[in-house]
Amino acid sequence: MEILLYEKVKAEFKPWTETYLAVAQALIRLIETDEIEVMHFGSTSARVGGKGIIDLSVLYPEGHLQAAVDHLKALGFQDQASAKPFPSERPRKDGAVLFEGRKCLIHAHVIQKHSEEHQRQRAYRDYLLANPQVRADYERQKKAILAEGVDDQDVYVNRKAPFVKAILQELEN
């Protein structure tokens, strides 16, 4: 599996498919090392349709952030393609792969293993997987945003953020 150049595309709704899990598993095998673990999270991990971008948490041990970033860059991942990228202490690296003839976009979030953010991502994914009605509500929210003519990825992410934040807030209580 080769990491290709990321290309920022317009936000659109793609129904969830098992292919997302297969792509994530192949990427996990590619990225993981003795020190770095990888967790699939986000909509594609939770059987929720959406942009179809595979979100991965690249989990590094304390003090090894730069080693994790260097590892991703050596594999071909690029700096985040966004007008407002994540800060250097919590970077995201982007890439793409061809899988069964289909181009899949990848967001690799570099996060310290066992951090609060790592735990939130896992809890959020597991909550969505356990609650089919919430998954359906989330898909409706995404479709409504797109129906308003929003097609910029960054704007789309900001518009759906209140839904995600409400779930995270519920999980903290």
14-35 pLDDT tens trace:
999 999 999 999 999 999 999 9
Residue 135's pLDDT is: 94
> Which of 19, 32, 84, 23 is CA-nearest to residue 58?
32
How many percent of the chain have pLDDT more than 70? Answer: 100
Name the CATH topology of 19-172: Beta Polymerase; domain 2 (3.30.460)
pTM (two decimals): 0.92
In the chain, where the domains are located: 19-172
108-136 pLDDT per residue, tens: 999 999 999 999 999 999 999 999 999 99
Q: What angle do CA 65, 69, 70 make, to 5 degrees?
A: 115
pLDDT in tens, 146-155: 999 999 888 8
168 half-sphere exposure, CB direction, 13 A CA radius: 14
DSSP-assigned beta bridge partners for residue 79: 93
Tens-place pLDDT, residues 156-173: 989 999 998 998 888 887
pLDDT given for residue 173 in this prediction: 74
